[in-house]
Each structure stands twice: as structure tokens, then as C-alpha cells.
Amino acid sequence: MTQETAPRAAGDLASRAVGIRVSGVDKIYPTRRGEVHALSGIDLDVGRGEFVSLVGRSGCGKTTLLRILSGLLAPSAGTVEAGGRPAWVAGRRDDAVFAEFGLVFQEANLFPWFTVAENVGLPLKLRGAGRAARRARALELCATVGLSGFEDSYPRELSGGMRQRAAIARALACDPSVLLMDEPFGALDALTRDRMNLELQQIHAVSGATVVFVTHSIPEAVFLADRVVLLTPRPGRIRSIVPVGLPRPRSAGVESQPEFGEIVAELRRELDRED
Ligand SMILES: Nc1ncnc2c1ncn2[C@@H]1O[C@H](COP(=O)(O)OP(=O)(O)OP(=O)(O)O)[C@@H](O)[C@H]1O
Ligand SMILES: [Mg+2]
């Protein structure tokens, strides 16, 4: 998707969002029992403000790709660019590129001895923001993710869904240009997950951030995405990229529309072809 066709340039951050270009990325993990070829020849452009879902069987390399995009893991070959700037140069990462990225994983990973607001404001503290500014921004973000009233609670006092919301708020604290999410709702019950999907859609619309979202759930992938990327294992390659043209904002009812069902069925067929 090109910059011109990127969806919803509605938010304040839309102008800051950047596109990502992955070219010829390979990842080989050396292990005691030999090499594991986790990714091979990955080429992917994610448009500015675009929402891309990554799906595929367990072990196909979704987390590996997301970790490379997050700056946590160097690719064995190939390049990653964010906003036209190389993210890795000769195996070394450019920290300035990754400073603008927000990360959310399956586990919320909140600090138990900090309150919700303190956890959410932590990235700002690391960037030198003062106490009052951090508090103000944390309260704003708690409202964005539906945690108003729980700012001064501790993580142990929250449900799993609320902890994930806090993790998302923390990821948004520094106005990320790119949001990278690895099965953020994988541990939640179905009802909470549906609600979180609606909220994430809203957060994406307001923030304007570019999102790469990993999930095992094909309906979840389709509901959220502008395009769904299907990876195939051993080694992980892109098997297909399916555009989702359903208008936004999408309500829960979109899942009963024929077009939604057709896209889900197409992705399931692609997955079954691997067997
Ligand atoms: N640190 C590591 N060392 C060696 N091999 C690894 C490492 N991390 C992942 N792998 C291997 O790389 C391949 C891809 O793993 P990855 O975690 O990226 O898959 P995934 O698609 O995220 O799977 P899941 O859906 O189960 O989370 C697998 O074969 C895995 O065993
Ligand atoms: Mg994974």
C-alpha cells in the first residue's frame, strides 16, 4: 500500500507514522543441534498508518519477524527500513529508529511494584519527562484504553484484559510511529478479546500509527487488518498477502458479512494447503 492510499490519516500522529520496508530478510538461528532456518526471503512493505496482521502456523516465524522489526533481533541477511531509514546496519541497530516504536507482547510485563499510571508513564521517565507531565499523560492514556479509575491500582489488582490495556497504554506513551504487537490478546477470554479488538481498532484510528499485529486467530487478523500476511513454515516465507477491503470503522457485526467470511475461508484454504 502506498502512502497516498494509507487509511485514516485522522490522528494527531498520522504525520509521524512511518512505513516499514522489509527486503530479502533471512534469519538463521545457530543451535547446538545445527541451524534453524526461521525466515527466508521475506519482502514486505507496510504502508504509513497501515494495519497489517501476520498469521501462520506455530513455528512459522511470526515472532522472529516481529522481533527483527522491533530491533530485538538482527536479521541474518536482508534489510529493514523504517521511514526510509535503515534500521540495521552491518548487524548493528540504529537506536534512533527503534526509539519511536511501541511494543506489546502476549504477557503484559508490567512492573508489579509500580501502579498502572507509573507503569504507563515509565517510557516517559526514561526519556527524562517530569513527574507532573508523566502523570498527566498516563491519565490521558488510561482513559484512551478504558482504564480510568484504575490509574493508582497495582497490576495484581487488574484482570488479564486490563493488564493488557495498561501494556498498550505504556506502548503508546511516547506516541509511537509504529506499534508492533505479538499475540497481545492471546491469553484473554473470547469476550474480552472481542472488546479489545474494537478498542484496538479505535486506538489505531486515533493514533494513526503503523501496526504489525501477530495472531493465531484468522478472524481476529481479518477484523483488524488492512492486509493479512500468511507465513508458511520451514523456513518461514510469505505464502500470500490478502487485502481486507471492508469499510471502517468495523463493528462486531462485520463478521457475519459474506465478504468477511470469504476472506477468512480463503486464508484457511491457504493454511490447509500446507498439510
Ligand atoms: N532463540 C531461538 N533459537 C533457536 N531457534 C529458535 C529461536 N527462536 C525461535 N526459533 C525457531 O524458529 C522458528 C520460528 O519460531 P517463531 O517463534 O518465530 O515462530 P512463531 O510463528 O512465532 O510460533 P508461535 O505461533 O508458536 O508463537 C521455530 O522453528 C523455532 O523453533
Ligand atoms: Mg510466536
The pLDDT value given to residue 25 = 97
Return the closest-CA partner of residue 180 out of 203, 205, 213, 221: 213
**Residue from 31, 62, 180, 229 whose mutation best tests the ligand 1 pocket (most atoms within 8 A of CB):** 62
The pLDDT value given to residue 91 = 77
User: CA–CA separation, 75 vs 71, rounded Å?
Assistant: 9
Say how many C-beta atoms besides its own lie within 10 A of residue 28's C-beta. 15
Residue nearest atom 11 in ligand 1 by C-alpha distance: 38
Q: Which residues of the chain have pLDDT under 50?
A: 1-12
DSSP assignments along 28-84, one per residue = EEEETTEEEEEEEEEEEEE-TT-EEEEE-STTSSHHHHHHHHHTSS--SEEEEEETT
Answer yes or no: are the C-beta atoms of 25 and 217 closer than 8 Å.
no
User: For residue 36, which atom of ligand 1 is closest to its CA?
Assistant: 5
Q: Whole-model pTM?
A: 0.91
Residues contacting ligand 1 via CB (< 6 Å): 29, 31, 36, 38, 56, 58-64
Residue nearest atom 24 in ligand 1 by C-alpha distance: 58
The pLDDT value given to residue 8 = 38
CA end-to-end distance (rounded Å), the chain: 31
- Asked if the peptide bond before residue 243 counts as cis, ω within 30 degrees of 0, the response is no
The pLDDT value given to residue 7 = 39
The pLDDT value given to residue 9 = 38
- State residue 179 phi and psi, 5-degree precision: -115, 120
The pLDDT value given to residue 15 = 62
User: For residue 183, which atom of ligand 1 is closest to its CA?
Assistant: 27
